[in-house]
Amino acid sequence: MACFDICYPKSNRDTTQLNTTMRILLISTLAFVATSSFAQNYFGDTITSAGAMSGHDFGHKMHDVDSMPAKVISRVITVCQVKGCWMTMDLGHGETMRIVFKHYGFFVPKGIGGRTVVVEGMAYRKMIPVDELRHYAEDEGKSEEEIQAITQPKMELRFVAHGVLLI
């Protein structure tokens, strides 16, 4: 210890320790910010946009089948305003698709309406009963009048996503 005291006087050791602490804090902060920025773009499984078909092309392919696995890129129209537990996607020509999340295992931010996303999972058609349609309208924040105006079930294109990527 005596050699350390001679070679590094106490005032220099305090400065060295402070500089080391500051470097560690800076590196930790930068790592956290970098990781957080990327992590917020993925929900559920980590996916990429490689191989994604446009919403328009996907809509055409779904006309011929009842279900299929797919990766789709398109614009978000609406998001559940209660939890972010579902969203609708634009398929072009006035067609939309409701996306729900596998095993209710993740949610998306409520403010991503209008953003472009990639979803990967399984698409299928389903007849949606009136009570479920009204529930979705309520989640969207529609008025009581608009909710009560829903009186017929609706065939809907559904998508169970295991991953979502915000573009």
Which positions of the chain have pLDDT values less than 50?
4, 7, 26, 29-39
**The tokens of 51 are what?**
């191989």
- Indicate whether 61 and 141 sit together in one domain: yes
- Indicate whether 92 and 113 sit together in one domain: yes
- Indicate whether 86 and 137 sit together in one domain: yes
- Indicate whether 16 and 86 sit together in one domain: no
pLDDT at 164: 98
- Indicate whether 111 and 149 sit together in one domain: yes
pLDDT at 37: 45
Q: Residue 75 belongs to a domain with what CATH number? A: 2.40.50
- Indicate whether 26 and 95 sit together in one domain: no
Report the SS3 class of residue 103: helix
This model's pTM is above 0.85: no
Full domain range(s) for residue 32: 2-39
- Indicate whether 7 and 75 sit together in one domain: no
Q: What backbone phi and psi angles, to 5 degrees, belong to 13?
A: -65, -45
- Indicate whether 31 and 69 sit together in one domain: no
- Indicate whether 22 and 88 sit together in one domain: no
pLDDT at 35: 43
- Indicate whether 31 and 7 sit together in one domain: yes
pLDDT at 57: 95
Instruction: Report which of 127, 117, 126, 107 is spatially closest to residue 55, judged by C-alpha positions.
Output: 117
